[in-house]
Structure 1
Amino acid sequence: MDHLRVIKKAWKEYDASKTIYKIQDISAMVSTNHVFRITFDDEDIVIAKLSYFGKYEHFKEDHRIIHSLANNLLYPFENLLAKSLLKNNRVFTYRYKTASTDAWVVFYNPVRVQKRLPRRLSEAHIRKFGQQIGKFHKSCSRIRNVLPKSSKTLSTDISVLLRQLNSRKKSSFSDEQRDVLRHHCELFQKNRLLYKADKFETIPVFIDWNIGNFSVTSSLKLYSRWDYDWFRMSSRMMDFYFFARVVSDIGDRTVFSYLIGPMMEDRFVLFLEEYHKVNPLTANELRFLKEVYRFFILNYVIKDGNYFFSPQYATKLQSEAFDTYLPSIEKEFDSEKLISALKLK
């Protein structure tokens, strides 16, 4: 695909009167999504995101919800999110569809950035981060009823994966691997009901909270957040696996894996304690963290991995899913440690 051609066509449809001077690819090169900085003749700058991961309808729906969220969040988070460009009072999205290609584009105003958290957080960083996320989730909760509805749920995504596994179409997974995946899909659905996850409050969650996706002030308050690849409306617990990764002892790494271990570290318990003071958690929510992790591996690594991650990452992560990630769920995760630390029942 000629990415620049698609970006130019998208901008022409948005505002043909404004001439592009330069387009720079600023993508992280981890996923199949591409991000570009567009500079115009008059020196104005916008950011373009080009995606062909998932469905255009979901892409459009998500950005409509994010736009509403960005405009309805109150102080101190009123300027936290990158704003999409509008046309005729609607978020502008462009779809480029040919016989062999289906891609879509959205434009953003450049987001202001202050400080990044260090690769390995201190205890003071963890405490402040827990407090800030607790406040942010509370702010999202307060406006949940005025946001557009979402068609995606955890159950529908797992059902899609099950249909794919039961299909007679050629699969990259062996029969044995498909059996393993079916087993974990069924466990997820069973435990989702056991922990009454359907009763959990639904709020906007971004899931991918690695330290390259947000910035903080000098006093460690959340300042800006970008990168909405895994955005969805769901339980707040969907964010917590990545919070565990942010505060983990090993810290942020260039070569990454998705191990369950960070959710069992004392550093994550410290994060939970600070979050809990601001925005109380329940025992069933902490029990559901095991299923949050299972869902992440099944949905984002297995079901969508080949579409979202670049090929070398997709192959590596899917192999590790069978060898390490999925077998570790029952062996390594103990929700009672977290429940006991927060003195819950």
Structure 2
Amino acid sequence: MVMEDSSRLDAYAKPPEDLKSAYKKYQKISIAQLDSDDTVFDAAHEQYAGFTVNIQAKEELQMPAEISHIVQSFLSNRGSMSRDGTSGCLCYEHPDMPGLLVFPSLLAPSVQISLLDRLLHRDVSNPAHRNNLTLHYSVPYPEESANSFFHASNQNLLLDPIDPSQHKTVSMQAMLVKKLRWITLGGQYDWTAKEYPSSPPPPFPPDIAALINGIFPAIKPQAAILNLYSPGHTLSLHRDVSEECNRPLVSISLGCDGLFMAGLDKPNACSVATMRLHSGDVVVMSGPARYAWHGVPKVLPNTCPSWLGDWPVTPHNEDSEQYTSWKGWMANKRINLNVRQMHD
């Protein structure tokens, strides 16, 4: 498959008008309209919208024939062994967008919960990983003995503004409910300059890197954006062109359903694919689709799986009693882990 050279792509370019129009349509769409829209891929409801199973994709991504041992290794690192370590591994691709691959329900519930535990308890509270608040606030990172922002001992922490004339103090409640929108893991992407700093990045979480690289050996996880959405939040159309290599992007969905759009520029029009992604779905952007425009026009409320909605209070978690005040936090949240390789 022929790919574009990222060095020829402008990080500040604007998306094509027909893709912007489609984005606005799905930003405003009602649930009733969405349920009757057969142009949206939704594997959970057996609606494939032109996507077909691609049996060669796993080979092209160098995926192992069996991934249960990789998943069980990931789970055993935290003592959370489970027989549901992996679900079916069908791969769907749209014929007009080669390399845009969807793996519905690839990650089973035990894996999703363990990912949330590590990302939101451990990595979000690691000051080496910047978030959208660190530029304007002094973030009070927890003590190591209670190193989760969700821990009961941290509920009264306050984020003081660096410039009080521009921002007000933020409570921990406000931070976790609505203010915290993204965290960078590993390579700390500069959103203004649209590039990665030349200085050495903090280490990418090794257990999460091992899980992703084990399932998708074609990518070495070096950087990630962890997006936190609530209903009403969106992600504008953009292209990821700042990496120095063209290795695939891997995007993991957790929590509420979200609409994900991707589009490729073509001489006479823009190919567009819209997907309703569910918790546990994984999208890979590879080949020609590696530099596709993409965005999230809508997060669908009240669609978080019932077994995940009470997080951070979960079965078999010995620390759950420390998180009871946050029970149900995930019920209207969508978490997206977007992983990339910066260089070969």
- TM-score where L is the length of structure 1: 0.25
- Higher RCO (C-alpha 8 Å, min separation 6): 2
Which structure carries more helix by proportion?
1
